[in-house]
């Protein structure tokens, strides 16, 4: 009876020890991301940088920097309700932009293949001190495509968030 009790205890301790072991052995050199995970992180960083560049160009009214990000067949829809804009229209509106400051957050990237990606994020906009509207929160989606080896923004969509 006593040996049976000891065997049950040993089996229980062994099962606890096995349950705490990793299912797969760790990779040599520690836990490193797989190449696909690493590539996704690099892609995410790339687009976060491009989106930051985009908003800096808008804030600074830098038509050249903004234009370099857009595809020639770019289409964008903003919260002002004036409909879709092509690249030329979007660039011509840069002078009227009144972004005083901004905060980007809630960033998500969905790779759609080797030559396309879908970026989703929100921006809190701050307008100049004497503006009628001082702050705005906007949900944004962007479709980026790789053309001639360069990532270009093909479509932009804003939705006002209350």
Q: pLDDT tens digit string along 138-147?
A: 999 999 999 9
Where along the chain do its domains lie? Answer: 34-161
CATH of the domain spanning 34-161: 3.10.450.50
Which three-class secondary structure string do you get for 43-65?
A: HHHHHHHHHHHHHHHHHCCCHHH
More confident residue, 129 or 3: 129
Query: Please, what is the average pLDDT of the chain?
Result: 84
pTM (2 d.p.):
0.75
Structure tokens at 98: 């009144």
């Amino acid at each position: 009876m006593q040996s049976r009790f000891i065997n049950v205890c040993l089996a229980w301790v062994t099962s606890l020890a096995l349950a705490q072991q990793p299912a797969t052995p760790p990779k040599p050199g520690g836990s490193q991301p797989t190449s696909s995970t690493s590539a996704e992180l690099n892609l995410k960083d790339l687009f976060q940088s491009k989106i930051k560049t985009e908003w800096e160009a808008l804030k600074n009214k830098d038509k050249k920097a903004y234009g370099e990000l857009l595809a020639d067949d770019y289409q964008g829809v903003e919260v002002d309700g004036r409909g879709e804009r092509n690249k030329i229209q979007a660039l011509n509106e840069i002078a009227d932009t009144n972004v005083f400051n901004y905060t980007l957050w809630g960033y998500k990237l969905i790779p759609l293949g080797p030559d396309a990606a879908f970026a989703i994020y929100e921006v809190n906009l701050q307008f100049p001190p004497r503006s009628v509207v001082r702050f705005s929160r906007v949900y944004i989606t962007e479709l980026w495509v790789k053309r001639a080896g360069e990532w270009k923004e093909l479509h932009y969509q804003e939705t006002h968030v209350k």
